[in-house]
Structure 1
Amino acid sequence: MNVVWNPVDPGLWPSFHASGRGAMQQAWAYGEALKAMDVVIHRAMVWEGERLVAVAQFMCRRVLGYLSVASCTRGPVWASDVGTDERQQVYVLLRRSLPIARLKVVLFSPDLALDEAQELKGLVRVMSGYSTVLLDLTKPLPTLKAALDGKWRNRLVKVLGHEKIRFHVQPSRKKCDWLLGKEVDQREAKKFHGLPVEFVSHYIHATADPAQAFAVAYAELGKNTIAAMLFLVHGRVASYHMGWADAEGRQLNAHNALLWQAMAYFQDHQIEVLDLGGVNTHDLPGISRFKLGTGGEVLTLAGTYF
C-alpha cells in the first residue's frame, strides 16, 4: 500500500467520502473550515495500486511546545470492500508516515461501534466513545413516522396542526447568519462552548455549491421566528449542528415539526442519513430525550485509540 499525503486530489475526496457515507469531521469542507481558523490539517489518501482504499483527515496541534498531537476523528473513511487485515495495515501506515514532528501522538476515533472494532487490534483505547442518533432517510416517511416515540409523534401532530405557524427549510444565508447570532447569545447565557460560530461560514464557503452545504429549518408565528435548526450537509449525510427556540417555540414543540420537515427536505435532496449528534442523558437529558424520541439508531462509537 502507498500513502499519499497533502496535497491530495480535492475533486476525488468528496466523491469517495460521499460513497462511504463519511462523517462530517472527515469532509473536505470541514478540514478547509478549520484551516481557515488556523488549525493544521493533514490529509491522506491510501492506495493499493490504482485502487483508493481509504481517506483520512487529521486535526493537529502542538502541546507543551514540542509534542505534536494529531487526531483522526470519525475516520478513516473506507472503500466498501476493505477487509479487517487491510484496515489494520492502514492504521500502521498512517501513524508511521504522518508528516509531523517525530515526538508525536496519533489518535484515531473511528466511525464504528465497539463490537465492530476488530480492525483496531494492536491499538490502545484511551477514551470511551460518545453516542449519536442516526436516522435512515432511505425509509419512507410513513415508516419513519411510525418509529417515533408516541409522545414525540403526538407533539408533532399537534404543532403541525397549528394554523398560524409557518415552517420553512431552505439554504438561506440570511437566516443562517441570524441563527448564528442567536447561538452566540445562548452560549453566553448558558455558559457552554462548541465549535466557533464562524466555522459555519467557512464550511459553507469551502463547499463547491454553497446551496448544498447546509439547510436552515425555521418556524414563524406572525412576524416572529420562534424556533430554528441548522444542518450541515456532507455527501449523502446531513448533520444537525445547532438549534434555538424562544419560550413560545419551546411551549409549542416547534422543534418536533422542524426536524420532521427537515427529514422530508433531505429526502427530496437525496440525503440518505441524518446524524442528530451526541446524546448524553446525564448532562443533557432534555435534548437527548428529543433525539432518542425520533426512533433512530443509537450508535455508540468505539472510542479514541492510540
Structure 2
Amino acid sequence: MTQPESPPNLRIVWDVGRLSEWAGLLAECGQSSLTQAFGYNQAMLTVEGWRPRLGIIELEDRAIGLVVMSERRLFRLVRIARLHRGPLLRPEARRPAVFAMVMKHIRQEYPSGPLNWTAVVPEWPAGDEGAAMMRWAGFRRDRAPGYRTIWLDLRRTEAELRAGLAQKWRNALNQAARAGLVVEVDRDGRQQLPWLLEQYQADKAAKGYHGPSAKLVIRMRTGMYKDGDILLIRALKDGVPVAGILVLGHGRAATYQIGWSDALGRQTRAHNLLLWRAVQELRDQGRHWFDLGGLLPDTAPGVTAFKRGLGGEEVELIGAWR
C-alpha cells in the first residue's frame, strides 16, 4: 500500500500512564478488550510472569487511546513481547491512518530480530486494507489463527435486545423462565467463585478444551472485584446449583469468561437464563458492550451457535502477525 497520510504529532508515550488514566482511557475507548485492562495484566504478571508495559497514544498532545504490550525475558538476552487485542482507540480516532501509524510506532519500539521476538493480534477487523496496513507498518503474517468474537450492543433497549434474539434462543429463554430456577447474583465472586472453578476445572479436564487456569481467574478476581468488575451468576434447581457463569468488566465493556452447566442445567436451559440476566445486570452497571468471547465454529460448534443466538455482531480480527 502507499504510505497513509501521517496524522500530525501522533506518538506513543511509554511507561508514564497512571492507573487512573489507564482506567479512564479504557472506558473512553468503548469496545475495549479484557486483555488490555489493568486487572487482567496484573494477574498475568503474577501468574505467568508477563510484565505489562502501558503506552498512551497521543494525537496532537491529546490522549486518544492506549496499548498494553506484555514482555518477558529469555536468558536475560531475548525480549519476548506480545500484543493481544490492542491497540484500543477512542471511537473518533478509529481511522485506518491512525491505526497504521500506531502499528508503525509499535514496530519501531519492538523491532524484529534475533534478540526481539514479537507476536501481535491487533484489535482491527480482518480484510485486505488492514493486512496492507500491517505490512506497511513492518509486520509479517503469522501462521497462528486469528480471533473471532461477537459483540452485543447493550445501548439498545431491553425490548430491542430481546427482539434481536434468535427464535430458538428466545424459546429456550422462555423455557428456562418456566423451569422453576432460582438465580443468585454474586457481585464480587467471594461466595460463588470457588464453587464455579471446581466445576469448571472438572469440566475442562473431562472435555479437553482450553481456557484460563483457575489460578489466573482467582488473581483476576482479586485485582478486579474492588472496581465492581466481577459478575458471577448461578442458577439453582430445588436448591442445587445446576449452572454458573463468570463475566468480567473492563471500562464500558464486559467479557463472558467462563461458564458451566450440568445435565439438569442443560435440560432446563439455565445458561440462556444466566446470560440474559447478565445482559440486564451489565446494562444496570452502565456497560455499553458485551464481548461474548472467542468463537470456535470448527471445534465448538454448539457453543458458537449458542453465542450467535444472542443476536450480536460477529467480528473477525485481522489475525496474528510478527
What's the TM-score, normalizing by structure 2? 0.87
Amino acid at match of 1:291: K
State how far apart, in whole Å, the 2-side matches of 1:86 and 1:242 are.
Answer: 34
Tell me by how many angstroms 1:2 deviates.
4.1
Alignment-derived partner of residue 5 in structure 2: none
Alignment of structure 1 residues 229-244 onto 2, 5 Å: 229-244=245-260
1:35 aligns to 2:45 (yes or no) = yes
The answer as to 2:204 corresponding to 1:187 is: yes
What amino acid maps onto 1:30 in structure 2?
Answer: Y
Shift of 1:302: 1.1
Is 2:158 the partner of 1:141?
yes
2:74 is the counterpart of 1:59 = no
Tell me the amino acid that sits aligned with residue 56 of structure 1. V
Maintained 8 Å contact 2:112/2:118: no
SS at match of 2:294: strand
- My pick for the range that moved more, 112-121 or 152-161, is 112-121
Alignment partner of 1:263 is 2:294? no
Root-mean-square deviation (CA), in Å? 2.3
Letter in 2 for 1:31: N
Q: 1:268 to 1:27 in 2, by over 3 A?
A: same
Percentage of identical aligned residues: 28
5 Å-filtered alignment, 1:24-173, equals: 24-37=34-47, 38-62=49-73, 67-82=78-93, 83-98=95-110, 103-115=115-127, 117=130, 119-122=133-136, 123-126=139-142, 127-162=144-179, 164-171=180-187, 172-173=189-190
Shift of 1:261: 1.0
1:298 maps onto 2:308 in alignment: no
Give the alignment of 1:16-27 within 5 angstroms: 16-21=25-30, 22-27=32-37
Tell me how many residue pairs correspond in the alignment. 304
Alignment correspondent of 1:284? 300
Uncovered stretches (5+) of structure 1, i.e. residues with no partner: none
**Deviation at residue 175 of structure 1 after TM alignment:** 0.5
CA, structure 1 residues 181+99, in 2 after alignment: closer, same or farther (shift >3 Å)? farther
CA-to-aligned-CA distance 1:162-183 (integer Å, 9 cap, x gap) = 2x31113331421122111211
Shifted more, 10-19 versus 116-125: the winner is 116-125
Q: Which amino acid aligns with 1:292?
A: R
- Partners of 1:44 and 1:264 lie apart in 2 by 33
Query: 1:101-146: CA deviations, max 9, x gaps?
Result: 9721223212221136264341322244221111111111111111
Contact 1:68/1:101 (<8 A) preserved: no
User: In 1, Cα distance between the equivalents of 2:92 and 2:115?
Assistant: 34
Q: Which residue of 1 aligns with 2:218?
A: 201
- Are the counterparts in 1 of residues 245 and 259 from structure 2 also a CA contact under 8 Å? yes
